[in-house]
Every structure is written in C-alpha cells, then in structure tokens.
Amino acid sequence: MPDSRKNLRYYFEIQPLHGTFFIYQMDSVTVNSAEGSMAIYDLSGGGMRFFSRLNLPVTDRVLLTFSFRALYKHFTLHGCIKRKEKQSEGYMYGAFFPDEVNDQKNELVWTVHQLNLAHKERQN
C-alpha cells in the first residue's frame, strides 16, 4: 500500500465509534489493568483521537491496547498517548500506533480508506 495512504484519516462526524482500552505495559512490564471505555472521533493507520472519562498519562512508557469494531471488523491495536486535552466531562486524547507493520494495521488502513469512500458516496 502506498505511503500516501498510511495516515489517511476518517472523522466520525455524526456519531463516534465506541471501543475499549486497557493498560498493557508500563515501563516494558506487562500489567493487567481494568478496561476503560472510549469514544473514537477520528481514526487512521497511525493513530486516533478519542474521548474517555479516565485520566491517562501522556508518555511512551505506558502502552495501551485499544479494541473496537469498524465496518464489521474487530481491531485490537497497541498504542500510547501523545496528546491530552481536558474537557468538561473527561479528556480528549491523541493516541499513536507504532510503525510496526502487521495484518491488523494493514487492515485498519484499508478499512479507513473504505469508510472515506463510503462517506464520499453518501455526499454525492
């Protein structure tokens, strides 16, 4: 897949996509945290913007596992928080998915592309 599609982003403008996350690793040590809920507002092969009521740290030392469904496909991806903005009822986060290439990430890039095509068709 061409690099130009690597960071193709889809914006959930009408209704956010819902999913869950948990802390997978802290300082390279595997942990077993409770699951948190999230609302995804935009998504790409490189990361996503999501809202949660939980206060998470902005650091590369904490690796999260994100799970969600898009276009009838289930995704489970690892990532870390790169940005955090306080909102009235929680936090808006920017999460980054590492550049490792795997089947899930390739499938996510294809799914985001399909979401954008369907969105363009609905506008015409």
Threshold 0.75, pTM exceeds:
yes
- Dig out the tokens for 8 from the structure: 């193709």
Amino acid of residue 49? R
Residue 5: pLDDT over 60: no
Please give the residue that has the higher pLDDT: either 107 or 26: 26
Cα distances (angstroms) measured from residue 78 to each of 19, 43, 62, 69, 99: 13, 14, 10, 15, 11
The per-residue pLDDT of the chain, averaged, comes to 88
| Mean pLDDT of the 42-52 span | 94
